[in-house]
Amino acid sequence: MTDCLFCKIVAKEIPATVVLETERALAFRDVNPQAPTHVLVIPKEHHRDAAALAAADDGLADDVLAACHAVAVQEGVADTGYRVVFNTGPGAGQTVFHVHAHVLGGRGLTWPPG
């Protein structure tokens, strides 16, 4: 998709601090981190939100979720606990319409998040 910020990061047209890359997923640090570990995990292929990713129905959602866990292990937060969040729709705070999982950890994460 030509006018998508995260597609441009996949295409390396916009720089990002990449922490993990697999065949179908890319993980990079959020530019405005909300926790010591705050990494965005995206499918390289464009889907607008979590519902569209789930509907892709070819294992892509599995790959993204597996990449989230791999990032948590790599960041050293898998044992202490981490959160995976898909903001889905403007009412839930989604601002970039290329599906992304926020992987958050490295501090106490309260629930509910507020």
Indicate the SS3 state at residue 105.
strand
Joined together, the tokens standing for residue 88 give: 């889905």
Q: For residue 39, state whether it binds ligand 5GP (rule: CB under 6 A).
A: no
47 part of the active site: no
Considering beta carbons, is residue 74 or 97 the nearer one to Zn ion?
Answer: 97
**Contact string (CB under 6 A) for ligand 5GP, positions 49-88, x = contact:** --------------------------------------x-
Contact 96, 59 (CB under 8 A): no
Give least dist CB 99 to ligand 5GP, A: 9
CA distance 96 to 76: 27
User: Who's near 110: CB < 8 A, 6+ residues apart?
Assistant: none
Q: Which of 82, 84, 81, 29 is nearest to 61 (CA)?
A: 84
Of 27-35, 65-73, 75-83, 104-112, the segment contacting ligand 5GP by CB under 6 A is 27-35
Q: For residue 90, state whether it binds ligand 5GP (rule: CB under 6 A).
A: no
Looking at 47, 98, 100, 102, which residue is catalytic? 100
Q: Which residues are catalytic?
A: 100
